[in-house]
Structure 1
């Protein structure tokens, strides 16, 4: 969002592989810093005031976009659900087309949708500035607008950081991670600030120590897959035979999926399921009421966990074919730490999403998951006349047969 107000702030953080990478691939000038691309991870966080004339009907809004080239979870980047997700809380009226869960309304699209996002953001928010192919976004609107952008600087490309009026106050951090356990993050490096004249004001050595609310499991043998043959009732299997139980930790699977799939809550026993949970309606009868469902399952470590899904009848189409439904289960372990310091992360603020179903002292260990798909056959509308004719003939012949049998039996009894 373009603004020249000086109480706005932009902070750029570059995470290098190590101290040598930082020294060899960053060049400081009087007014800029040049980064030589070697896959360094970047977070750009812009914070700005809300326009005075905005009519905000919600308390908190969160919009996330996970690109096809997402850099994933790191010390400066949180986990994001696949595709485009819009979370709305504090609105007394249900958001049209959204899943209404206990914590928020959720809208989702596999693809980026300008028209969907523009329903919620201020009119002067420039959506054309978003680079969707290779960058992730996490946008939060509460009493301010916070735009977080995540990406990697590709090999052979340079990133030049210099002051622009639209940034407001500009701060750049150049860090590398020192060895630590999975919960703690130790970042060492420099922090530079710019004056409003466009010159680098000062750079000072900075050391950051914080606890990560989210991290990836290392050397995990956990596998998430569909059990074949898939058919119309796919089974998601989560292999947790390499995991052990813990007093303060539990394993879960979070699943948000479109209306082409549904869960029989009496069969699979989810912790909760919100959205399209009707067991009989075909997909095309649900219409625009909701885009799908959201659910959370408790898993048992040390064994295979099977979760049964079901497909709905899809709308018939010319020449039939199949509708391909994609969904991405998120498998993780949640642990209560009793330490509220996990909220004090300088790069991430706890917000709406799956973590809102857990206490504030929870840390999450994520397992490598996969995007799964199921193909649902669609009836061929071109065959309608033939099917109608054959069905009608069968019905007429069946009735005629029954009438003949009744008539013959009556005559034989005389």
Structure 2
């Protein structure tokens, strides 16, 4: 039980002792380029070819390749060890990004550009996913893991905000392709050291971590209840079973994946709707700033997840997060001015951060032994796929019916999250009733009643 808010927040001071402050800084720098590449590719190829369609295709190819490759990279790391797999991929990715920069500067279009984009995406390291795997392996106390997952979600949110900002600064002050040069330099300078800092395979070197029926400071959910595909033994992370099939891992963590796809669709459609509303207001340059306020509150509330009582189940947290996102985006769809849109997005961000933290906690809970790498990288791929789908659908609806059309996609994504949480709560209730029915009734005097 969390003794006090200050005591809960003080747990963040334990993280540098668990993983070292230098490693945390390295992981932060290593994920920065991957928040820059999609928008950087769009900006660079649009400027060099004069076609926004070419720029959009470049971004789409990079994103799709990284989404497909993510779980495969996770599987390879689960089997062969992170240091070996990522140590090979990081230099290849730096080279691929250098080629992407050359292609952008030369204005490539056609098969050559397609191949370079696919290579850049396929070799991209899911830094956030492997950072979470690292925390799972290092933490022995479940509250420390809760704190680490909250921290990682905050860092993700900050990268979503700062990555596009860096693209705008570099492209505006130097040249449109400058963000790709910066991304390649960051992969070489931070991505490669991060890759070499990783551990062995999922079957090697894991410390035992006691997980009973609950994960303190994340939520109380029975090991056999909703969001649990299998019992969680006390020595789950110390066991060394064969790596399960990717299909088995994806099936086990399906609820969490669905939540993350919806969060990605939420991001993509909000970007489209905000951009369209800013354009209608004659303030196209303000779209990024208006969208960024959502990431700021999301980052703050992700940090504050550790303050939630342990008695609040994971399923309830998903449900509340989905309700908040749905209701506030419905209001955003009816707004007309940019200031009111910014205020509503500021409010909706408060629900996104905790929902993301909960989704990753579910992934750790549900992933079968030996499948953590696949599970975590699949979560990152889910966000990418969802964001691409949300941006595509939101952009089409925004063009057809204005900002409200794009925001309707966000409302629908939030509603699906509500359904996931509601179904999990119902399963939890049925599991609790079944457990109660299996126990013999005892009267106050100790005699068993009929």
* Band the TM-score falls in, shorter-chain normalisation: under 0.3
Which structure: larger Rg?
1
Relative contact order, higher structure (CA 8 A, sep 6+): 2
* TM-score normalized by the length of structure 1: 0.21
User: Which one has the bigger strand percentage?
Assistant: 1
The structure that is helix-richer by fraction is 2
Q: TM-score under structure 2 normalisation? A: 0.20
